[in-house]
Amino acid sequence: MGKILVTGAAGQIGTELVERLCSRYGRENIIATDLKFPHVPECEHGQMDVTSRDSVDEFFREHSIDSVYHLAAVLSARGEENPGRAFDVNANGTKNVLDASLRSGVKRVLIPSTIGVFGPQTPKRKVPVETVTRPVTMYGITKIFCELLGEYYFRKYRLDVRGLRLPGIISYKSPPGGGTTDYSIEMIVSAVKGKSYTCFLRSDTRLPMMYIPDAIESIIKLSEADGGKLIHRTDFNVSAFDFTPGELETELRKYFSGFSVEYRPDERQKIAETWPSTLDCRAAVDEWGFSPRFDMSRMVEDMVRNLSDQSSPAGKR
């Protein structure tokens, strides 16, 4: 088989996706790339700047790549700090990867999208795949562009491009990457460390979420799905549960009775208010069997256990 390339492999999702792909396909068949060398277990890795067409083309020429998981991206909050960089990485970087894939005979490209493609005109609850997508952040603007660009390459060139709109992703192995839902991870980490937390969103801000084991399995499952059964291509809604910061605080108090949160909304609150609170995921369920395992309670239990293990003397060895 040809190699499986993961861009953005040093990020929150990329780190764990590479581990899962290595266990599934063998380390010798995975290539992990990022601007910095990813910390990956024994699989091939290298540096590739997706914003440089020459860098991307050279990397594809030097490797026999069969499929791509294109995760390299600048997320919502960080993208507002440097919108030019976000456009270059998210839009130009994606086009560079698609063009190189086309020239190299790559069979499939998986590009995660985001709930950031939605905007103030989008309905708030049970949002379907086909709805108003008028985002207000550079992250969302570039990601809706990538959804449409992927569909274009599929229609015009028959390049098999697929994607799913990820909600807030919660994980403990790698730090979050500058998104509006990062508070969820920060709050859980603070509770485990016995510290209070200052939340940058209002206590009643409801957003769709997913625990990273389900996110990883969903990404791989969509990539491996029978393309003949897919009606949609690059815009599948996926979400496992939804909650507010206040509800997460209440759940954490079951484990840490003295835990406290102060709410001081900042600019990220404005971003969160443009996103839906719940998603309609029926297209993903019907077309490729989307089936998350973790609800909110199980996620918190697992996060607390793993973070507590990391904090123990044995976990620090």
| Nearest of 195, 175, 213, 169 to residue 261 by alpha carbon | 195
Q: Is 255 a catalytic residue?
A: no
The three-state secondary structure class of 174 is: coil
Spatial separation of the C-alpha atoms in residues 5 and 218, rounded to whole Å? 17
Phi first, then psi: what are they for 90, rounded to 5°?
A: -75, -45
Helix and strand element counts for the chain (H, E): 12, 14
Catalytic residue (one of 69, 139, 172, 197):
139
Spatial separation of the C-alpha atoms in residues 299 and 49, rounded to whole Å? 34
| Nearest of 75, 206, 210 to residue 137 by alpha carbon | 75
What letter would DSSP give residue 70? E
The three-state secondary structure class of 207 is: strand
Spatial separation of the C-alpha atoms in residues 255 and 304, rounded to whole Å? 8
Spatial separation of the C-alpha atoms in residues 68 and 163, rounded to whole Å? 12
Which sign, positive or negative, has the C-alpha torsion 303, 304, 306, 311?
positive
Residues acting as catalytic residues = 139
